[in-house]
Amino acid sequence: MNVAELIRRKRDDGRLTPEEIRALIAAYTDGTVPDYQAAALLMAVYFRGLDGDELDAWTGAMLHSGDVVDLSDLPGPKVDKHSTGGVGDMISLALAPLVAECGVMVPMISGRGLGHTGGTLDKLEAIPGFRVDLTVGRFRAQLSKLGCALIGQTERLCPADRKLYALRDVTGTVESIPLIASSIMSKKLAEGIDALVLDVKVGSGAFMKTLDRARELARTLVAIGNGAGKRTTAVLTDMDQPLGRRVGNAIEVVEAILTLQGRGEPDVREVTMSLGVEMMLLAGLADDAAGARARLQKAIDSGAALERFAAIVEAQGGDRRAILEQRLPTVPTSSVVIAARAGRVQAIQAEEIGLAALALGAGRAKKEDAIDPAVGIELLRKVGDEVGRGEPIAALHHRDDRGLEEARRRVERAYRIGDEPAKPKGERPLVIEVLK
């Protein structure tokens, strides 16, 4: 295999064969192909893309670079959900136990946050004692008992993706749709699922800033999933302002708890229910959307979904009281950000809020950075809310002065307050469309 020749061919908009792609991925995974050649190939893919056959081969090569979990002996439909990342996006924490309570088996393997988007694993680890590093044996046993397990990527699951993602992160190739899609789908297909629901975010707080790009990513993901024999649905949801009112780790767990108590924010409830409906339909556990929504609502109203969350937390080493009594990490200090003028909140730039939380220590700029689970931002005003001059628009929950002034400046920049109607006619809805 002449790697330089393959790089030149892709650079010049040529096509790689499935055999060449499989050999390249295998050689990079075992260290035969060095980082500098892999980086050149990634940049060629970034500019030239991958056609359908190349993308299928690329995804399959990453999928089979390590272990593939087999859950076929466990009864019931196995359905997972994946989000492309946003700000205040704690949906998985409420959604997984909710649909598990309704009979869907959820083998959820999640990731950590990097940059302005929070990671599900970081939020789960804000729960005292919670372990995300289950063995495959414990993962299977918990699925059989509770219908849901929430873990991180193991060393043997898609090792090619782990190496390639780290390289993409430092070579400016993260935003490539074929590379995003193959990264997501290789990990999800390795979970042993029967079906998958994808929450593709679009807007200022998402990787996909425009609806056209989000649709392209969604269609690519759905095509890979369906082509692999997994029923796949993508739901496009708005991320022009943060979800809910809390951005951080422990405080986003609180948002999930409130949602399962039926007291969460309307936008969080709607996205949770919409994705839950699609998971129920893919699992064949409801005849239509109305029936699925009714079952999900009953699980919330009865308290069974919250109890299921507490049971999952306990099974993974956490304190169930953290869920039932909100015993979660807190910080002793809060500072408010005030409105510079009176009016109505027109917009909240979600990425700025995410970067403000990062400045306080709620996220990581580099993979080795430590996260403070207790810090974060509470949005006291959302789009459409009225506010007077000098009134608080957000609360910064901080442990010390680390990043406090930067966070304050970013929150001030994120809020746009004016006199016009906050939702002009024609603005896109929270749940934009569903692609299958």
Return the active site residues.
82, 161, 168, 183, 187
What single DSSP character describes residue 198?
E
Instruction: Sort strands 343-348 and 195-202 into parallel, antiparallel or unpaired.
Output: unpaired
Determine which helix (DSSP H) or strand (DSSP E) holds 4, and give its type and residue range: helix 3-11
Give the integer Cα–Cα distance in Å for 261 and 299.
10
The conformation of residue 301, written as its DSSP 8-state character, comes to H
Measure Cα distances from 300 to 258, 262, 272 in Å.
10, 6, 12
Burial class (CB in 10 A: 0-12, 13-18, 19+), 390: exposed
Q: How many secondary structure helices (H) and strands (E) does the chain include?
A: 17, 13
Question: How far is residue 387's CA from residue 381's CA, in Å, rounded to a whole number?
Answer: 8
286 SS3 class: coil
Contact 353, 414 (CB under 8 A): yes
Closest of 307, 337, 338, 331 to residue 321, by C-alpha: 307
